[in-house]
Amino acid sequence: MKQLGDLERAVMDVVWSAVTPISVRDVLTRLDDRRPAYTTVMTVLDRLARKGVVTRELDGKAWLYTAALSREEFIARLMLGVLDQAGSRDAALVHFARSVSADEARALRAALGEAGQP
């Protein structure tokens, strides 16, 4: 899974914050500082659907979009993809573990404990 570009990330922020499936027009109106063309947002959402980041369903003449993964699940998959590129996953994980804050380290230990890992 690849990292999102700036506009893709802005669009996904809107989709992730939506409580129900969202149309292109609604995404466009919720984009903060940006005012891309309607067709640009439509193209971005179409690309995100082809990448499997969003799902879509036809509602009359409009497509409604929903995130296929939560933001956290998406980020986790990105991180795993980066680990796959490392020459040594273990070495990359050690460097990562040394770079996190004490609070993040506690969260990691708790998550590993919940998963039945030491």
pLDDT digits over 29-69, tens only? Answer: 999 777 899 999 999 999 999 999 999 999 999 999 999 99
Lowest mean per-residue pLDDT among 1-5, 52-56, 71-75: 1-5
Answer whether 15's CB lies under 8 Å from 67's CB. Answer: yes
pLDDT band at 117 (very low <50, low <70, confident <90, very high): low
- Contact partners, residue 51, CB within 8 Å, separation at least 6: 1, 2
Average pLDDT, rounded, for the chain: 91
Q: Are 97 and 105 in contact (CB under 8 A)?
A: yes
Cα–Cα distance measured from residue 104 to residue 92, given in angstroms and rounded to the nearest whole number: 17
Rounded CA-CA distance 61/58 in Å is: 7
Q: Decide: pTM greater than 0.75.
A: yes
